[in-house]
Amino acid sequence: EVQLVESGGVVVQPGGSLRLSCAASGFTFDDYAMHWVRQAPGKGLEWVSLISWDGGSTYYADSVKGRFTISRDNSKNSLYLQMNSLRAEDTALYYCAKDISHSSGIMDVWGKGTTVTVSS
């Protein structure tokens, strides 16, 4: 079964840091680009970041550029999101999602998400 499981979401103070993880199984992880997408409480979906199959190319939404870093470890079938200088507006459910191919932008498998709350 193709599966993505996120972890690492907690309550953190403004200005703090956090690292999210996403464990992949059931498919050849290093064949696909991967995404992070977030959803603030009661709001719509916002794309956050994309990493190529080999980690050689990374891209970010303007709202997180310079604060978040996406990475992957293909030997561990894992995706990460390092989040620094967190703000209240980063509070959201964070999903990892598998691209349908090499950075097509189409997301065909999603995890259940992990919740990040930025609050003092």
Partner 1 sequence: DIQMTQSPSSLSASVGDRVTITCRASQSISSYLNWYQQKPGKAPKLLIYAASSLQSGVPSRFSGSGSGTDFTLTISSLQPEDFATYYCQQSYSTPGITFGQGTRLEIK
**Contact positions toward partner 1, by CB under 8 A?**
35, 37, 44-47, 50, 59, 62, 95, 100, 103-108, 110-113
Please state the closest distance from residue 14 (CB atom) to partner 1, in A: 26
Provide the minimum distance between the beta carbon of 15 and partner 1 in the complex, in angstroms, as a whole number.
27
DSSP H or E run through 96 = strand 92-99
Q: Which of 109, 69, 61, 58 is closest to 89 using CA atoms?
A: 61
Beta carbon nearer to partner 1, 5 or 16:
5
Place of tokens 């999210």: 20
Compare residues 85 and 101 and give the one whose CB is closer to partner 1: 101
The residue (of 23 and 100) whose beta carbon lies closer to partner 1 is: 100
Q: Would you call 44 exposed, middle or buried from its count of C-beta atoms within 10 A (0-12, 13-18, 19+)?
A: exposed
Do 39 and 89 touch, CB atoms closer than 8 A?
no
Kindly state the smallest distance separating residue 7's Cβ from partner 1, in Å. Answer: 15
Q: How far is the CB of 6 from partner 1 (least distance, A)?
A: 10
